[in-house]
């Protein structure tokens, strides 16, 4: 959580946010209660063929610690089952799991591992039986990281468009990794950066990371990424591709705020778009949902969390039933799950 000017200022900002949003909160449930580790973060969520859900996240003593592993839990019959370790690397931390199906029905887990996001590598494993058994871990070639935090977009022809990014010491940039063979091989495109250059000697990082990819048309040629931005930018940013993800415009700020925190977005079956984000330029609270007809002009319609604390790194999907399903970090201690009926989306 980012405390701008100390606790007193942060509380004043939070009070103003509460007045604006009326502090509404959607009902939800913890995936694991109690949690299996002191710290939990960066969840991912996928619906399985039988209608059950599988969530994953990284957990351990604290982010970056050598005991941090990828944990997972399955939800059947409206109940979360006991969590289990899905991946662990010897003597190093893991980060940012991503679960998704490719067009051939294979369920994939991608994750990162290493001493820090500036020095991590990527690994993956797959399941052909919806997560009951898994392949051995495979390490990606240097330079390829796979979907960096949010789920990739799988086009109707099976092409996977994964939003990736690199966090250097001073600047951040987005990359797109694209696979036309269900993830067997990848080609990297980019970088996608903010319009204009950064000048001066400010030590703060500048740029964008962790894209969420949506299709703006039925053909899958017009794509948009919505991305996390550094605090000096203060807004969710967006960039477009008109050729299915091969080339991209520069990124520009949207009307939605962003406090240097992860987001996720989904195109609904009816053609509308929903984004889950922190509705603040400074704090990782509140956590809210906004809807749009064009992925440009947004209307906030529901607050998921509004208490002081950190509610961040959300994952968002639409279930076969039409409902919106989401998981997110709850105060860095647990992962929370929320289901929102489609009728609540205006």
Cα torsion 169, 188, 255, 297 to 10°: value is -170
Buried b (16+ CB within 10 A) or exposed e, 266-302: bbeeeebbbbbbbbbbbbbbbbbbbbbeebeebebeb
DSSP 38-83: SEEEEEEEEE-TTS-EEEEEEEESSTT-TT-EEEEEEEETTEEPPP
49: left (phi over 0), alpha (psi -120 to 50) or beta: alpha
Structure confidence at residue 205 (pLDDT): 81
Both tokens assigned to 265: 């977005």
Give CA separation, 112 vs 70, 154, 225, in Å. Answer: 10, 21, 21
- pLDDT recorded at residue 132: 97
Beta strand 187-192 with 121-127: parallel, antiparallel or unpaired? unpaired
pTM metric for this prediction: 0.91
Report the alpha-carbon distance of residue 113 to residue 70 in Å, rounded: 10
State the sign of the Cα–Cα–Cα–Cα dihedral 335, 213, 210, 49: positive
Strand partners of residue 21:
none
Which of helix, strand or coil describes residue 114? coil
What does the pLDDT read at residue 189? 98
Report the 10 Å Cβ neighbour count for 241: 22
- Quote the pLDDT of residue 144: 97
Query: Which of 1, 68, 71 is CA-nearest to residue 35?
Result: 71
Structure tokens of 259? 């406090």
pLDDT of residue 201: 45
pLDDT at 246: 97
List average pLDDT for each run of 10 residues in the chain, which is 346 residues long. Answer: 34 38 65 96 98 98 98 96 98 98 98 97 98 98 97 97 94 96 96 74 78 96 97 96 97 97 98 98 97 98 97 98 98 97 94
pLDDT of residue 6: 37
Q: In the chain, where are the structural domains located? A: 31-142
Which residue has tokens 């710290």? 39
The Cα 32–Cα 73 span in angstroms is: 8
**Which pLDDT value is given to residue 169?**
83
Q: Are strands 160-167 and 153-154 parallel, antiparallel or unpaired?
A: antiparallel
Tell me what pLDDT residue 288 has: 98
């Amino acid at each position: 959580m980012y405390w701008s000017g100390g606790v007193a200022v942060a509380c004043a900002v939070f009070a103003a946010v509460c007045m604006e949003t009326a502090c509404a909160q959607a009902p939800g449930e913890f995936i694991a209660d109690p949690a299996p580790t002191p710290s939990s973060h960066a969840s991912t969520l996928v619906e399985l063929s039988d209608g059950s859900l599988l969530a994953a996240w990284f957990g351990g003593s604290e982010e970056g610690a050598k005991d941090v592993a990828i944990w997972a839990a399955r939800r059947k019959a409206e109940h979360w089952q006991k969590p289990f370790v899905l991946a662990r690397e010897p003597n190093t931390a893991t980060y940012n799991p991503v679960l998704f199906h490719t067009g051939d029905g294979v369920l994939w887990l991608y994750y990162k591992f290493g001493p820090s996001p500036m020095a991590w590598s990527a690994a993956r494993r797959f399941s052909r039986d919806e997560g009951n058994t898994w392949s051995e871990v495979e390490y990606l070639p240097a330079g390829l990281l796979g979907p960096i935090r949010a789920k990739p977009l799988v086009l109707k022809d099976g092409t996977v468009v994964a939003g990736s990014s690199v966090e250097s010491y001073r600047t951040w940039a987005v990359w797109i990794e694209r696979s036309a063979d269900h993830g067997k091989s990848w080609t990297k495109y980019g970088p996608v950066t903010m319009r204009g250059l950064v000048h001066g000697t400010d030590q703060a990082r500048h740029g964008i990371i962790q894209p969420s990819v949506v299709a703006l048309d039925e053909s899958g040629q017009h794509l948009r990424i919505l991305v996390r931005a550094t605090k000096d930018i203060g807004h969710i940013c967006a960039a477009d591709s008109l050729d299915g993800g091969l080339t991209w415009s520069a990124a520009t700020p949207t009307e939605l705020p962003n406090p240097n925190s992860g987001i996720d977005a989904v195109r609904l079956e009816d053609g509308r778009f929903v984004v889950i984000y922190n509705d603040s330029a400074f704090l990782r609270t509140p956590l809210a949902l906004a809807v749009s007809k064009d992925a440009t002009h947004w209307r906030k319609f529901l607050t998921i969390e509004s208490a002081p604390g950190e509610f961040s790194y959300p994952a968002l999907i639409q279930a076969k039933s039409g409902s919106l399903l989401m998981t997110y970090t709850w105060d860095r201690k647990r992962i929370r799950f929320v289901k929102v009926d489609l009728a609540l989306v205006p």
